[in-house]
Structure 1
Amino acid sequence: MDTLSHNNAYDHNSQAFSADITITERMDYYSKWCRSGDYEKDLSKGGTYNGPIIAGEAISRLYPDDKNIRILDIAAGTGYVGEELRNKGYHNVDALEPSEGMLQQAIDKNIYKTHICDILGGTSVHINDDEYDCTIVCGGMGEGHIPCSGLNEMIRVVKPGGVVCIVMREEYLFTVSEYKDRLEPLMKQLEDDEKWEISDRIIFPNHFAGKSGVLFVFRVKCDGV
């Protein structure tokens, strides 16, 4: 990718993750960005944005033989992770995405079985406890995005023994006010409380625009086990 394209991608993404806009403004920005046709140009898989590839590979490692597991793609966007999962043979995947414009692009791709236009823990559509075998979040963690409390919701909707997988930019652990000194301690507290146990914490290069990423994998525990 040339330097100008790289800078445009970084600038557009920075606006989406700005701390100075409301949730409504953020969702409108995402919708306009993808409707302009620039979103998937700016965040090109295998180029600027490699997180979805890492996410798809993680699910494939975790469930190499069971392609029928129910998966919830949280902050599904235009369906990048869904495309990776479909290419690996996973077709029982639902999308949760609050931006109407982005979700419509995912719908047009015919990737997901169900499309939920809502935020994690929102009220528009209720997701039952223990509904999914696995949740995957890629690109949904950042300034003004999924709060720390979202971890509890991820656990709630996953069956005991199932998996919560989070892919995010590594630096956000230290630069996002919601996460700094809070996100990983909460992950550890949930482990101490026997809500889940960590399976992996892997740092990888070039998650987005040359920035490193981190992959978290947690196994949800049975009550009291």
Structure 2
Amino acid sequence: MSDSSRTLDDVKTFLRSFKSSDPQQTKKSYDSMAETYDQDFGLLNYRAPSLAVDFLDDNFPGAREEVQVLDVACGSGLVAKLMAELGFRHFVGVDCSKGMLDQAAKTGLYQDLRLALLGSDPLPAQTGVFDVVILVGGLGVGFAPVSVVRELCHAAKPGGFVCIARGEHRGSPSEDYGKDLQRELKLMEDEGLWRPAGHKRTLRYMQDPYLSGESVQDLLPEERFLSGAVYLFQKSIQ
């Protein structure tokens, strides 16, 4: 499906066709939508990249020019584009979709792009190298498992930052995933791996793709959106 003229309802129908419990199917689905990903998610008012990058920028000390960034689940490069506007220059991208990596390569912003299915493949990144590790939208049912957050922390250098943005999808599987994630984030803090450096919630992370036309008409504008959160951690120096 590569029609750039598709409507919001078209995009919602397409996303609802994802077999969200199967990461391999999710990978294939992103391959199929890679060429129109930016336009499609723009129709959904997908604000996660800007929310994460703005929050990181507000809380990141020092100059940006020499910062080494690991962009995990980088997709088409939306996060790197926004970070580049703020002065960040050095990016390594990781994604499970070859089609999405092809789109990211077209930005000309990445020094390296690596293919990996998070949770099945090890995160292809050296330990303790990156000043910033950022993952936007990749944590959820059918995407990266909760265990991946430890790999993000390992990739950051001591004193480096890990920034995570996640939408709070409706339904028991997503809610259970969110509880497991919160436990893991707190456990890593208790183990002394990192400390919280910031947290921001939003009521407008993106439009809910699982709401159909008729059900949307009866909702208030804010009820049509998924909430979400941005988490920022600083890796311990030890």
- Measured against the shorter chain, the TM-score band is 0.7 to 0.9
Partner in structure 2 of residue 217 of structure 1: 232
Distance 2:196 2:18 in 1: 30
Given the alignment, which residue of 45, 50, 58 partners 1:61?
58
Post-superposition shift, 1:96? 0.6
TM-align CA RMSD = 2.4
- Whether the aligned pair in 1 keeps the contact of 2:168 and 2:175 (CA below 8 Å) is no
User: Could you tell me whether the CA contact under 8 Å between 1:173 and 1:179 is conserved in 2?
Assistant: no
Question: Given the two structures, how large is their TM-score scaled by the length of structure 2?
Answer: 0.81
Distance 2:51 2:99 in 1: 25
Offset at residue 205 of structure 1 (A): 2.8
SS state at 1:44 partner = helix
Shift of residue 155, structure 1, vs aligned partner: 0.8
* 1:105-136 deviation per Cα after TM superposition (whole angstroms, max 9, x unaligned): 01012121111111336658742110101111
Q: Do residues 50 (structure 1) and 47 (structure 2) align?
A: yes
The count of aligned residue pairs is 215
Please give the alpha-carbon distance, in whole angstroms, between the structure 1 residues aligned to 2:120 and 2:129. 16
- Whether the 8 Å CA contact 1:116–1:125 is kept in 2: the answer is no
Against the structure 1 CA distance between its residues 15 and 83, is the aligned structure 2 distance closer, same or farther, given a 3 Å change threshold?
A: farther
SS in 1 for 2:150: helix
Shift of 1:144: 1.1
The normalised TM-score by structure 1 is: 0.86
1:64-117: CA deviation from partner (whole Å, max 9, x where unpaired): 541121111100000110111111111111111110001000101212111111
Q: Does the CA contact (< 8 Å) of 1:129 and 1:158 recur in 2?
A: yes
Are 2:145 and 1:147 equivalent residues in the alignment? yes
What 5-or-longer segments of structure 1 have no aligned partner?
none
1:184–1:125 CA distance, 2 compared to 1 (3 A) = closer
Gap change, CA 1:17 and 1:156, over 3 Å in 2: farther
The within-5 A match list for 1:1-225 is 5-16=7-18, 18-19=20-21, 21=22, 23-35=23-35, 37=36, 39-44=37-42, 48-63=45-60, 65-67=62-64, 68-120=66-118, 123=121, 126-171=124-169, 175-176=173-174, 179-209=177-207, 210-223=225-238
Q: 1:127 to 1:189 in 2, by over 3 A?
A: same
8 Å CA contact 1:42, 1:48 repeated in 2: no
Whole-angstrom distance in 1 between the partners of 2:136 and 2:170: 13
Give the greater-gyration-radius structure (CA): 2
Conserved? CA contact 1:121–1:153, under 8 Å: no
Unaligned runs of 5+ in 2: 1-5, 208-224
- The runs of at least 4 consecutive aligned structure 1 residues that moved more than 6 Å come to none
